[in-house]
Amino acid sequence: MARKTLGRDPLLELDLFAECTPAEARRLRSLLTLLNVAAGTELISGGSYGFEFLVIAAGQAEVSIETVSGPVVVATLEAGEFAGEMSLLGRQRRSATVTATTPLTVYVANSAEFATILEEAPSVAAKIRAAASARQEANRSLAA
């Protein structure tokens, strides 16, 4: 009888989760919903209230912010990168719009699941908080 070989959890292949233990990855996977999204889909609308956190598993998305001159693309997100954390951490409106530029596979967590992820995986929480801080600073300099 052939034995099934279990490979590394695909979640652990993403930079955000790379430092998690296999047990943490299993717990986090139970908090995330995997979705496929068509290119051109607006995933996050700037100015709206945030209710979800997104981690890109495959594909690309653009992040744009509104300026006095109109929308400006400030980042391209790829596999392992994430969006939606700033609104959830700060309990504020979304500061940017995120749009799929290719077909995407994304992990999605609602606000309660996001809070649990922060509690259960310290390495993930540290990466998310560091990115949120850097993004807030970048947004402030762009708005000036």
36-51 b/e (C-beta count within 10 Å ≥ 16 → b) = ebeeeeebbebeeebe
Domain ranges of the chain: 13-143
pLDDT at 12: 92
Q: Consecutive 10-residue runs of the chain (144 residues): their mean pLDDT?
A: 57 93 93 97 93 96 90 92 92 91 97 96 95 82 61
Question: SS3 for 74?
Answer: strand
pTM of the shown model: 0.86
Q: Does domain 13-143 have CATH number 2.60.120.10?
A: yes
Question: Are 36 and 103 spatial neighbours (Cβ–Cβ below 8 Å)?
Answer: yes
pLDDT at 10: 86
pLDDT at 41: 97
